[in-house]
Structure 1
Amino acid sequence: MRATGKLRAVFGPANRSSLVHEMTEENRRLLAQREAETQQWETVRRPDGSTYVVPRNPDDKSLR
């Protein structure tokens, strides 16, 4: 484990990908779908500070 830590200090993490690339059409569609999915939920905070997620419109079953 110590050797791995030393290698990471020199070479960085093993999995490194570029964030500067063009989005493909498939990625754009997936992003739009994920954004639509997140819009149907609402985060509720309890008085003790914990949170939970509830549907904004319980009657809407389009994405579930």
Structure 2
Amino acid sequence: MRWCDLSCPEAGFPKENAVDGAGSCRTFAALYCAKLGRLVAKNAPCAVEAMARGAKGKDSGDKGRTA
């Protein structure tokens, strides 16, 4: 499992000011993910991997089930 932090080559500092609401320099709660093209939670499990796992689960889990 990968984690969303600055060691990821897809991660970068957010371009928006005050992403965390503090308006302070480099105290941030989100990173910009170049692969997803959006902000993601810093230090969380990789959102790209989580989306890939979710897509696999949707394809295999509930076939034949009706609501």
Greater relative contact order (Cα 8 A, min sep 6): structure 1 or 2? 2
Structure showing greater radius of gyration is 1
**Same-fold call, TM cutoff 0.5:** no
TM-score (normalizing by structure 2): 0.27
Structure with the larger helix share: 1
